[in-house]
Structure 1
Amino acid sequence: MITVPLSEWNDIKKRLNDIQKKVETLYNRETDYVSISELSEWLNISRTTIWRLRSEGKIKTYLIGGKMVANKDEIQTLLNEGKI
């Protein structure tokens, strides 16, 4: 059994609640994400090219659940604007 002061326990509970809200927000989003492999197929470019575009700051990626993904809407906007 581990004991902690009440103030620390309340701080831990608050942090866990904040994390829970962030996770719920991620799950409830209507935004679609694609994996790097799916993005490669969609754009018909190699994964190496995607990583190059990412390192150049042209494509933004996110780490969600330990998986690197890209926002479909952001990619579509970049395509429409001719930036990639």
Structure 2
Amino acid sequence: MSHDCSAPQTAEGTYLFDARGVARRFRHAAIFGALSALTIGETMRFCNDHDPLPLLQQLSQHFGPRLQAAYVARDPGEVVIDFRIVS
């Protein structure tokens, strides 16, 4: 499935975070900060050039069940994940 991560906000309450434009040494801190800024019902559409499996584990440990993750695209060179705050 192809997705254009250069598109702005996808829907009301969904905000784009393109990790490819963030220096590697700042990525995890920026992602945690962006997710922490979301309110219940908001979604961050995360775009990356690889599947961030270690990051997903860290996010699960930190946010627990209040953060849901759903893949939009999982192609080589283009991974898109919707992170939603549910409670």
Superposition TM-score, scaled by structure 1 size: 0.24
The structure with more strand, counted as a fraction of residues: 2
Superposition TM-score, scaled by structure 2 size: 0.24
* Higher relative contact order, chain-length normalized (CA < 8 Å, sep 6+): 2
Computing the radius of gyration from Cα coordinates, the structure with the larger value is 1
The structure with more helix, counted as a fraction of residues: 1
